[in-house]
Amino acid sequence: MDIELFNKYKKLGRGSWGKDLLMWKTMYTAFLTQNKDEEFTPVTELFLNIFLEIPKARKEGIPIIMHPFNYGPELFHSMNLAPLMQEVFSVGLAPFHFNEPYIDFTNEIGYGDNPTLCNAQRPLIGSYMRGAAPIPDLLFYLSTPCNSLAMTYQVFQNLTGVPGFNIDIPYWAYDKASEFYDGKTIDYLIKQIKELISWIEKETKQKLDLKNLQQTMTQVNQAREYIWEFNELLKTVPCPVPSITGFGNFVTMVTRGGTNDAVKVTKWLRDNAAENVKNGIAGVPDEKIRIAWPYTHIFFDQELFPWLEEQFNAVVILDMLGFYQVLPHDTSTIEKCYESLAKGTLDFSMIGTCRGPIEYYIDFLLNYVKEYKIDCVIMPMQFACKHAYAMARVASEAVREETGLPTLIFGCDPYDSREVTSEEIKERISEFLTQVVL
Ligand code: SF4
How does pLDDT run across 332-344, given as a tens digit for each residue? 999 999 999 999 9
**Is 146 a pocket residue for ligand 1 (Cβ < 6 Å)?**
yes
Ligand 1 pocket, mutate which of 70, 119, 147, 385 (most atoms under 8 A from CB)? 385
Confidence of residue 423 (pLDDT cuts 50, 70, 90): very high
260 C-alpha to ligand 1 centroid (Å): 29
Structural domain count, the chain: 1
Side chain identity at residue 225, one-letter code: E
Q: Does residue 249 lie in a domain region?
A: no
- Phi and psi, residue 234, nearest 5°: -75, -5
Nearest-angstrom CA–CA distance, 59 and 5:
24
**Is 149 a pocket residue for ligand 1 (Cβ < 6 Å)?**
yes
Closest by Cα among 86, 83, 31, 89 to 261:
83
Question: In this model, does residue 16 exceed pLDDT 90?
Answer: yes
Q: Does residue 8 lie in a domain region?
A: yes
Please tell me the predicted confidence (pLDDT) of residue 12: 96
Please tell me the predicted confidence (pLDDT) of residue 210: 96
Q: Give pLDDT tens digits for 263-299.
A: 999 999 999 999 999 999 999 999 999 999 999 999 9
Please tell me the predicted confidence (pLDDT) of residue 262: 97
Task: Give the global pTM.
Answer: 0.96
Question: In this model, does residue 43 exceed pLDDT 80?
Answer: yes
Q: Does residue 374 lie in a domain region?
A: no
Q: Which residue, by CA, sits nearest to atom 2 of ligand 1?
A: 385
What number is the average pLDDT over the span 147-173?
97
What number is the average pLDDT over the span 213-225?
96
Q: Residue 164's beta-bridge partner residues?
A: 139
Q: Give pLDDT tens digits for 388-404.
A: 988 999 999 999 999 99
Please tell me the predicted confidence (pLDDT) of residue 207: 97
Q: Does residue 199 lie in a domain region?
A: no
Q: Does residue 128 lie in a domain region?
A: yes
**Is 148 a pocket residue for ligand 1 (Cβ < 6 Å)?**
yes
Pairing of the two strands 82-85 and 64-67: parallel
Q: Does residue 313 lie in a domain region?
A: no
Please tell me the predicted confidence (pLDDT) of residue 389: 87
Please tell me the predicted confidence (pLDDT) of residue 116: 87
114 C-alpha to ligand 1 centroid (Å): 11
Q: Does residue 207 lie in a domain region?
A: no
What number is the average pLDDT over the span 196-202?
98
121 C-alpha to ligand 1 centroid (Å): 8
Please tell me the predicted confidence (pLDDT) of residue 383: 87
Confidence of residue 115 (pLDDT cuts 50, 70, 90): confident
Confidence of residue 239 (pLDDT cuts 50, 70, 90): very high
Nearest-angstrom CA–CA distance, 300 and 72:
24
Q: Does residue 277 lie in a domain region?
A: no
Arithmetic mean of pLDDT over the chain: 96
Closest by Cα among 369, 321, 372, 368 to 348:
321
Please tell me the predicted confidence (pLDDT) of residue 114: 77
**Is 197 a pocket residue for ligand 1 (Cβ < 6 Å)?**
no
What number is the average pLDDT over the span 204-209?
97
Q: Give pLDDT tens digits for 61-83.
A: 999 999 999 999 999 999 999 99
DSSP secondary structure string, 286-323? T--EEEEE-S---TT-TTHHHHHHHHH-EEEEEETTT-
What number is the average pLDDT over the span 3-12?
96
DSSP secondary structure string, 344-375? HHHHSTTHHHHSS-HHHHHHHHHHHHHHTT-S
What is the residue range of 55's domain? 1-169
**Is 117 a pocket residue for ligand 1 (Cβ < 6 Å)?**
no
**Is 388 a pocket residue for ligand 1 (Cβ < 6 Å)?**
yes
